[in-house]
């Protein structure tokens, strides 16, 4: 009996999480898939069916937005990584006893609402704003120059908003790296660059991996940046889903698009972990 | 991930608008209450018993002393700290009806998404009166039979004082279910310093000289209607063929790089910042921008005509105090009440007689003489109504024609 209880204990202990997953993940997921296949309209109600046409339409009508979302997501994540890595590295290795102060500074913008921060960029980057206005009036920039309403503004907004989410996981792994390994490399006549490439970079791989997922998945589904900073031709799939759901009340389409986005993200994550391998990362970490 | 984020962002957005916009987020699209709206997806629960004889229903109603009024933020007169509304106090004094005034409507679509599941399950919404724009959601409420037909004899002031522009509208023939709260124009606004010339026509939104600095609305009803007017077609009587033509001219405008962005309420910031030089615009916003210090900005009634929208008072089924709602409507359609409210909110007053009240009693000639608040008959003659959708299929057709322009 005791042995049985011992075997069951981990499952019993994890029961709340299973219930949570079921209630807030599996059931909504199921009803979303059901809705995607349903036929009808909001006035007469919906009936369950196997209307796979909705998925075909969703893809043919909105494939540009899908591609664009993945392009924005990838570009913004890579740029965020390139910006966040040096910062995390510097804090972990050179900030000394001010580490927590610097981390706090990085988190500071998060005390202000997300949307307000994005809107602030709208003012900073305004055509006649306090940056571009003077530059235009002294003729350094052509009158027609603008950053807002371009895809670069959207990608920039995504980078800005995900920066801290990348710094933190990178900082955590960099901080844990055994400094004696770096010193040993130096003793063995490795240049600082070699030491970085052979020791620090591989050991920080788990942070790069975790941060990439965190930022990429969030950014692909984002719609706020495209809405506020974008222009014609920056519509992301998140915006399309918003419209389908709220404006057009086309619930089957919204559900189909959401399911497809989720599937694609899952696939991307799967391929990503296959390519860069959780095993490889474990190895590095060991 | 994006679904998870939605409610929080929507709330923040609503909060933000509260800080920056007068009558906030009219058509803005980050919409609240996704969680509640999800309930709309649930399989249909049996519908409540529908009332067949509304005359008998009205006859059975007893007067009450309560009234729950759901409205948009910043859409009524305010005194002092913000919770004091002189027009409501005067109403309570006159009738003895206590008003619970709730600023709960951020936008048509999310508000509809909140009340639809409740109405569908036959429950009362808790509101005795709501205010909805003459967009699809209002049509939907009417088609679903979720609005109580008004008892006209209880609202004699409507016949007496209502502006012809709000009587017998296409979206609600005979004012069977609704009476206007406010109207507004969707025309063109521009900054003469940047356009360097006067704007008179919808054609100007297609002027290559303004390439990259033209603002259009991302509300596809507004967007499509502007293109229809440009082509000389009355949106209210337009056909599917016209819609295709309008979409073609909009696509042309976009492909030539004229459009800076398809905006929600944020167009007003872009106009003030100089990002856009000329844009589709709501009259009330420009009035408020002018009085906030952006004196250059101009609003024009284009020569082809102008779109006029109406926000309407209506009683949802299940209302506990319907007679109070009628009493309020009757009270609102007096020059005094409409004047007090109009002097504060500055859209288009449905009670023309309020002009004299504002001029002579409140003594605020700026508002009384503003052609944006009390438009001239000539301007009103140019006003067009939106196309009133007759079914969901029509609404979907319109969307399928105009959405690709914004979304591609």
Spatial distance between the Cα atoms of B112 and B37, rounded to a whole number of angstroms? 9
Q: Please, is B293 exposed, middle or buried when counting C-beta atoms within 10 Å of its C-beta (0-12, 13-18, 19+)?
A: exposed
Cβ pair A42:B392 closer than 8 A: yes
Helices in B61-186 by DSSP H: which ranges?
86-95, 108-120, 136-143, 156-161
Say how many CB pairs under 8 Å bridge A and B.
140
- Flag whether B66 is in a domain: yes
Tens-binned pLDDT, residue by residue, of chain B (408 aa):
333 333 444 434 433 333 333 343 433 333 333 333 444 444 444 444 567 789 999 999 999 999 999 999 889 998 877 778 999 999 999 999 999 999 999 889 889 989 998 998 999 999 999 999 999 999 999 999 999 999 999 999 999 999 999 999 999 999 999 999 999 999 999 999 999 999 999 999 999 999 999 999 989 999 999 999 999 999 999 999 999 999 999 999 999 999 999 988 889 989 998 899 999 999 888 988 888 889 999 999 999 999 999 999 999 999 999 999 999 999 999 999 999 999 998 899 999 999 999 999 999 999 999 988 999 999 999 999 999 999 999 999 999 999 999 887
A258 chain-B contacts, CB cut-off 8 A: 3
Spatial distance between the Cα atoms of A21 and B281, rounded to a whole number of angstroms? 46
- Flag whether B239 is in a domain: yes
Task: Spell out the long-range contacts of B294-297 with Cβ–Cβ below 8 A and sequence spacing 24 or more.
Answer: B296/B191, B296/B192, B296/B193, B297/B189, B297/B190, B297/B191, B297/B271, B297/B272
Give the closest-approach CA distance of B1 to chain A in angstroms. Answer: 6
B95 and B172 in a single domain? The answer is yes
Q: What is the pLDDT of residue A278?
A: 63
B130 and B29 in a single domain? The answer is yes
Cβ pair A246:B37 closer than 8 A: yes
ipTM: 0.76
B250 and B340 in a single domain? The answer is no
A249 chain-B contacts, CB cut-off 8 A: 109, 136, 392
Question: Which residue, B247, B253, B249, B245, is CA-closest to B208?
Answer: B253
Among B143, B211, B273, the residue with its CB nearest the CB of A127 is B273
Mutate to test the interface with A, among B275, B277, B401 (most CBs of A within 10 A): B275
Cβ pair A230:B261 closer than 8 A: yes
Q: What is the pLDDT of residue B33?
A: 36
Question: Which residue, A187, A206, A186, is CA-closest to A196?
Answer: A186
Give the closest-approach CA distance of B322 to chain A in angstroms. Answer: 25
B166 and B75 in a single domain? The answer is yes
Give the closest-approach CA distance of B355 to chain A in angstroms. Answer: 36
Spatial neighbors of A240 by CB under 8 A, at least 6 apart, are A62, A65, A257, B407
Chain A residue with minimum CA distance to B216: A232
B301 and B398 in a single domain? The answer is yes
**A16 or B4: whose pLDDT is higher?**
A16
B407 chain-A contacts, CB cut-off 8 A: 62, 65, 235, 239-240, 243
Q: What is the pLDDT of residue A282?
A: 58
B259 and B320 in a single domain? The answer is no
Cβ pair B31:A242 closer than 8 A: yes
Give the closest-approach CA distance of B138 to chain A in angstroms. Answer: 13
Domains of chain A: 59-108+151-285 (1.10.3720.10)
What is the DSSP code string of B168-220?
S-TTSGGGSSEEEEEEEEEEEEE-HHHH-S---SGGGGG-GGGTT-EEEESSH
Q: What is the pLDDT of residue A279?
A: 62
Cβ pair B5:A230 closer than 8 A: no
Give the closest-approach CA distance of A244 to chain B in angstroms. Answer: 10
Spatial distance between the Cα atoms of B14 and A116, rounded to a whole number of angstroms? 11
Spatial distance between the Cα atoms of B247 and B249, rounded to a whole number of angstroms? 5
- Name the token pair of B259: 């459009």
We report the CATH number of the domain holding residue B217 as: 3.40.190.10
Among A116, A245, A261, the residue with its CB nearest the CB of B16 is A116
B38 chain-A contacts, CB cut-off 8 A: 28
B15 and B35 in a single domain? The answer is yes
B327 and B358 in a single domain? The answer is yes
Radius of gyration of chain A (CA): 24
Chain B residue with minimum CA distance to A112: B12
B136 chain-A contacts, CB cut-off 8 A: 249
Residue A56's CB is within 10 A of a number of other CB atoms, namely 11
- Across the range A22-50, mean pLDDT stands at 89
Q: What band does A273 get if pLDDT is binned at 50, 70 and 90? A: confident
Among A123, A243, A261, the residue with its CB nearest the CB of B273 is A123
User: A81-118 in b/e burial notation, b at 16+ Cβ within 10 A?
Assistant: bebbbebbbebbeeeeeeeeebbeebeeeeeebbbebb
- Flag whether B50 is in a domain: no
Cβ pair B260:A122 closer than 8 A: no
- Flag whether B381 is in a domain: no
Cβ pair B31:A246 closer than 8 A: yes
- Flag whether B384 is in a domain: no
B44 chain-A contacts, CB cut-off 8 A: 45-46
Q: What is the pLDDT of residue A69?
A: 96
Give the closest-approach CA distance of B347 to chain A in angstroms. Answer: 24
Chain A residue with minimum CA distance to B19: A116
A238 chain-B contacts, CB cut-off 8 A: 2
Question: Which residue, B168, B159, B309, B127, is CA-closest to B225?
Answer: B309
- Flag whether B64 is in a domain: yes
- Flag whether B357 is in a domain: yes
Looking only at the bridges linking them, the beta strands covering B306-314 and B383-384 are parallel
Give the closest-approach CA distance of B289 to chain A in angstroms. Answer: 17
- C-alpha separations of B356 from A70, B331, B341, B362 in Å: 59, 17, 14, 9
B121 and B177 in a single domain? The answer is yes
Residue B351 lies in domain: 2-41+57-183+310-373
A114 chain-B contacts, CB cut-off 8 A: 8-9, 12
Cβ pair A232:B262 closer than 8 A: yes
Domain count, chain B: 2
Give the closest-approach CA distance of B96 to chain A in angstroms. Answer: 39
**Quick one: DSSP state of residue B361?**
I
- Length of chain B in residues, anyone? 408
B166 and B19 in a single domain? The answer is yes
Spatial distance between the Cα atoms of A122 and A148, rounded to a whole number of angstroms? 7
- Flag whether B48 is in a domain: no
B144 and B225 in a single domain? The answer is no
The pTM of this model reads: 0.80
B361 and B344 in a single domain? The answer is yes
């Amino acid at each position: 009996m005791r042995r049985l209880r011992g075997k069951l204990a981990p499952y019993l202990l994890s029961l709340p999480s299973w219930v949570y997953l079921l209630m807030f993940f599996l059931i909504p997921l199921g009803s979303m898939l059901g809705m995607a296949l349903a036929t009808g309209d909001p006035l007469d109600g919906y009936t369950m069916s196997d209307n796979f046409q909705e998925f075909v339409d969703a893809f043919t009508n909105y494939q540009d937005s899908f591609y664009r979302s993945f392009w924005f997501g990838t570009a913004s994540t890579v740029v965020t990584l390139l910006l966040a890595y040096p910062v995390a590295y510097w804090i972990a290795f050179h900030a000394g006893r001010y580490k927590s102060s610097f981390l706090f500074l990085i988190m500071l913008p998060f005390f202000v609402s997300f949307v307000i921060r994005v809107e602030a960029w709208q003012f900073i980057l305004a055509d006649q704003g306090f940056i571009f206005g003077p530059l235009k009036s002294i003729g350094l920039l052509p009158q027609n120059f603008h950053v807002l309403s371009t895809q670069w503004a959207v990608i920039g907004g995504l980078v800005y908003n995900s920066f801290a989410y990348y710094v933190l996981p990178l900082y955590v792994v960099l901080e844990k790296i055994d400094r004696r390994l770096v010193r040993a490399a130096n003793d063995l006549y490795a240049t600082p660059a070699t030491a970085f490439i052979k020791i620090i970079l591989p050991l920080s791989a788990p942070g790069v991996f975790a941060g990439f997922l965190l930022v990429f998945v969030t950014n692909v589904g984002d719609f706020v940046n495209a809405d506020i900073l974008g222009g014609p031709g920056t519509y992301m799939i998140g915006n399309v889903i918003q419209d389908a759901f709220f404006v057009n009340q086309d619930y089957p389409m919204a559900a189909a698009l959401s399911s497809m986005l989720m599937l694609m993200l899952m696939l991307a994550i799967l391929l990503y972990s296959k390519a860069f391998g959780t095993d490889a990362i474990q190895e590095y970490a060991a | 991930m994006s679904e998870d984020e939605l409610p929080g962002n929507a709330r923040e957005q609503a909060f933000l608008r509260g800080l920056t916009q007068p009558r906030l987020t009219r058509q803005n699209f980050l919409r609240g209450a996704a969680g509640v709206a999800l309930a709309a997806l649930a399989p249909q629960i049996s519908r409540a018993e529908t009332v067949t004889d509304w005359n008998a229903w009205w006859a059975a109603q007893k007067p009450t002393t309560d009234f729950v009024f759901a409205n948009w933020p910043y859409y009524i007169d305010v005194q002092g700290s913000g919770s004091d509304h002189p027009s409501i106090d005067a109403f309570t004094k006159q009738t003895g009806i206590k008003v619970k005034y709730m600023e709960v409507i951020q936008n048509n679509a999310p508000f509809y998404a909140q009340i639809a599941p409740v109405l569908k399950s036959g429950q009362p919404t808790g509101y005795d009166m709501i205010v909805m724009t003459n967009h699809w959601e209002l049509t939907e409420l009417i088609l679903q039979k979720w609005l109580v037909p008004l008892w006209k004899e209880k609202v004699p002031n409507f016949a007496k004082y209502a502006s012809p522009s709000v009587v017998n509208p296409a979206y609600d023939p005979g004012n069977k279910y609704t009476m206007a709260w406010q109207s507004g124009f969707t025309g063109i606004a521009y900054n003469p310093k940047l356009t360097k010339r006067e704007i008179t026509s919808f054609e100007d939104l297609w002027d290559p000289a303004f390439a990259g600095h033209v603002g259009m609305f991302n509300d596809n009803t507004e967007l499509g209607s502007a293109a229809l007017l440009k082509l000389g077609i009355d949106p209210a009587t337009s056909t599917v063929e016209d819609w295709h033509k309008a979409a073609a001219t909009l696509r042309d405008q976009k492909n030539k790089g004229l459009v800076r962005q398809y905006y929600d309420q944020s167009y007003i910031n872009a106009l003030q910042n100089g990002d856009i030089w000329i844009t589709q615009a709501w009259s009330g916003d420009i009035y408020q921008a002018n009085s906030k210090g952006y004196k250059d900005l101009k609003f024009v009634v284009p020569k082809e005509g102008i779109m006029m929208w109406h926000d309407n008072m209506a009683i949802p089924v299940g209302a506990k105090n319907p007679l109070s709602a009628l009493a309020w409507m009757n009270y609102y359609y007096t020059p005094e009440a409409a004047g007090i409210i109009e002097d504060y909110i500055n859209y288009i007053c449905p009670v023309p007689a309020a002009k004299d009240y504002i001029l002579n009693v409140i003594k605020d000639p700026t508002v009384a003489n503003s052609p944006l608040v009390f438009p001239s008959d000539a301007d009103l003659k140019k006003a067009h109504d939106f196309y009133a959708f007759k079914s969901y299929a029509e609404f979907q057709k319109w969307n399928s024609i105009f959405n690709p322009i914004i979304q591609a």
